A = this chain, B = another copy of it.
Amino acid sequence: MKLATLRTDGRRTGRNGTTAALALGGDRYLPLPAADAGALLVADGWRALVQNAVAADAAAPESAVVAVPQSGLAPLLPAAGKVICCGLNYGDHIQEMGRELPAYPTLFAKYADTLTGPADTIQVHGSERVDWEAELAVVVGAELFRADEDEAQRGIAGFTVANDVSMRDWQNRTLQWFQGKAFDATTPLGPVLLTADEAEGDFEVRGYVNGELVQHGNTATLVFGPARLLSYISQFTVLRPGDLVLTGTPGGVGMGMVPPRFLQDGDVITTEIDGIGRLENRIRINTKE
C-alpha cells in the first residue's frame, strides 16, 4: 500500500494540521486516524488500522475519500525523530570518479525541520550555490538497536523519495557538511511511502532540473543498501518507527559538473523514483544572508 501525509489546515509546513492517509491513486486519499504517516507507523497493528478504515469507509453512506492535489501533501514524515543521511554511496559514481569503495558509510544527521512537501516552493536565503541530490529514502518501521541485517530488513516500513538539496557554499565552509544540509524546509520528501511488502527489488532514481535529466542511478549500485545502512546505524543509536534514512545520491549533481552548475531563482527540480512517485519543487533564492 501507499501512505501519505495530508495537510488539513492550509499551512505550508509544520508538525500540526496534518493527517495520515491511504493513497488510493491519482489525487484520491482516505484519511487515517493518525497525525501523519510516521505517527501511524508507531501504532501497534497499523496495518489492521488501515484495513479497518477501508472497511468502515466502504460501509459508510458517504465516503471519507478526499481529492487532494500534490500541493496539499505535507512532507511525508513532518515529525521524524531522526533524519540520517548517507553520502558517497553509489558505487558506479564513486568508481567513475576513480575513488576506492568506502569501507564504512559516510553519515550525517539533520532534523525534521529540514523537510518540506513534495510540491512546495523551496525558499533559500543566503546561498549562491544551491545544488540537488535525488535520493531513495528508507522509512524505519520498527525499533532497531544493534540489529543485524536480517532484523534491519524486517524493520523497514517502506521507501519514499527525497531530494537532499544542499547549499554547497555553506556545506564547504568547514569540514562538517551539516550547515549546508540542514536549511529549514529545503529537503522535499514524499509524495508517498511505498510499503516494503510491495517494493520489488531495486529502484531507478532520477533527478531533473527544468525538465532536463541530470541524475539517473539504480539503487542496485548502492555500496550500502537499505538494510545494511539501518543495521550499521543501529549499532550506535536506536532507530524508531517513522525515522528516516536517506541513502545517498547518484552522479550528476551540479557541483560535479564542469563548470559547476547551481540552481537559479525560479528553477524547478523534479525527483522521481519509479513505483513510488515524484517530487516537483520550485526553487526561490534570496542570495542575501
Contact = CB atoms under 8 A, between A and B. Distances in A.
Q: How large is the interface on A (under 10, 10 to 19, 20 to 34, 35 or more residues)?
A: 35 or more
A82 interface: yes
A206 B241 CA distance: 39
Given A104-B173, A236-B183, A111 B113 contact: no
A238 B186 CA distance: 13
Interface stretch (A25-33, A44-52, A174-182, A269-277): A174-182
A111 B82 contact: yes
Copies per assembly: 2
Interface string A68-106: 000000000000011010011000000000000011111
Interface in A211-237: 233, 235-237
A169 B88 CA distance: 19
Contact of A114 (B88, B102, B104, B237): B237
A154 to B, nearest CB: 21
A237 B173 contact: no
B82 A184 contact: no
Given A106-B174, A108-B109, A179 B125 contact: no
Contacts of A1: none
A104 B106 CA distance: 22
16 contacts: A84-B178, A103-B173, A104-B174, A106-B174, A107-B174, A107-B176, A108-B108, A109-B109, A109-B182, A113-B238, A125-B235, A126-B235, A145-B184, A170-B236, A176-B177, A183-B236
